[in-house]
């Protein structure tokens, strides 16, 4: 049996603020992929959206990144990446994913031990080889052990937002699902199986979409956390304690900064 293919999980979102559920997405996805025996998840990346994404009540990315870093201080495999938020303006998710895929391939490389070269002479695979793997991503089978795939990790609501008119480019949806692959966590009120069935492009690449059911259902959302904060209600055990301390120290999500 082939060795498991190495996978890096990328979650794009506002993380306004990061919640325990955001952290849990990574654990659920890693368990699911590794239980198939086809994948080894080697890294998780959180990429907070640019301030110019312009969603109502979005606090500065410097704060969202600081909170995510505090939340991840005890994780030995998930990290925050600030590249997206440091660009001149908001970037579409496919563009962010392309950048991070290059970064991940440079970092983890595809270091091969050639039998003829012997273990002491390791060499990096060329970009050409890596690209060839991506073109075959729709097959969902594990790739050779030396190759690293980047998969987009999201909740079912993000998947379903693909159907919102003019929100996502068709070519980006195809690229995300065919060249990258999705790991989708169920969310109350969503029906990802039906959504995939009703979409031609998602059905075509359904083998590259991993659906993960969260059996321990909860409805934690950043929207509800912000609402509780505005109302001076406790968010303890919904958000990591260091994040709560940061919010209090920096007086984020106060009643006067958001009204709905
Ligand atoms: N409770 C949840 N179950 C499943 N996925 C979730 C949950 N909360 C967040 N996500 C996913 O986390 C990713 C980042 O989401 P985002 O930061 O926009 O969080 P959110 O809680 O949905 O935010 P908001 O409530 O501000 O719209 C998205 O893919 C989203 O679907
Ligand atoms: N066309 C696109 O690439 C596109 C459209 C909408 C949201 N997104 C991304 O999805 C993530 C979640 O956004 P929302 O919190 O608005 O659901 C963010 O990272 C955002 O940048 C990307």
DSSP 64-76: HHHHHHHHTTT-S
pTM of the model: 0.89
As for the ipTM of the complex, it is: 0.98
Which of 81, 92, 189 for a ligand 2 pocket mutation test, highest count of atoms within 8 Å of Cβ? 92
What confidence category does residue 218 fall into, taking pLDDT thresholds of 50, 70 and 90?
confident
| Mean pLDDT, residues 106-124 taken together | 46
Q: How many CA atoms lie within 13 A of 39 on its CB side?
A: 24
Neighbours of 71 (CB within 10 A): 25
pLDDT of residue 144: 44
Confidence category of residue 120, pLDDT binned at 50, 70, 90: very low
Atom 31 in ligand 1: residue holding the nearest Cα:
155
């Amino acid at each position: 049996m082939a060795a498991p293919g190495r996978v890096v999980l990328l979650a794009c979102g506002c993380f306004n603020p990061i919640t325990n559920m955001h952290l849990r997405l990574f654990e659920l996805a890693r368990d699911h992929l590794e239980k198939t025996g086809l994948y080894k998840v080697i890294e998780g990346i959180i990429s907070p959206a640019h301030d110019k994404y312009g969603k109502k009540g979005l606090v500065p990315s410097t704060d969202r990144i600081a909170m995510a870093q505090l939340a991840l201080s005890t994780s030995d495999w998930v990290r925050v990446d600030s590249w997206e938020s440091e660009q001149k303006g908001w970037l579409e998710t496919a563009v962010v994913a392309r950048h991070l895929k290059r970064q991940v391939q440079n970092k983890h490389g595809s270091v091969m031990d050639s039998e003829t070269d012997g273990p002491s002479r390791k060499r990096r695979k060329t970009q050409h080889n890596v690209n060839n793997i991506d073109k075959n991503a729709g097959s969902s089978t594990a790739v050779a052990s030396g190759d690293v795939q980047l998969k987009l990790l999201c909740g079912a609501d993000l998947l379903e937002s693909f159907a919102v008119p003019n929100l996502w480019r068709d070519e980006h949806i195809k690229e995300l699902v065919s060249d990258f692959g999705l790991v989708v966590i169920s969310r109350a009120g969503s029906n990802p199986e039906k959504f995939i069935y009703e979409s031609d492009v998602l059905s075509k690449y359904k083998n590259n979409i991993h659906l993960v059911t969260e059996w321990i259902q909860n409805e934690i959302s950043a929207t509800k956390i912000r609402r509780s904060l505005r109302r001076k209600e406790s968010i303890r055990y919904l958000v990591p304690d260091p994040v709560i301390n940061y919010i209090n120290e920096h007086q984020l999500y106060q009643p006067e900064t958001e009204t709905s």
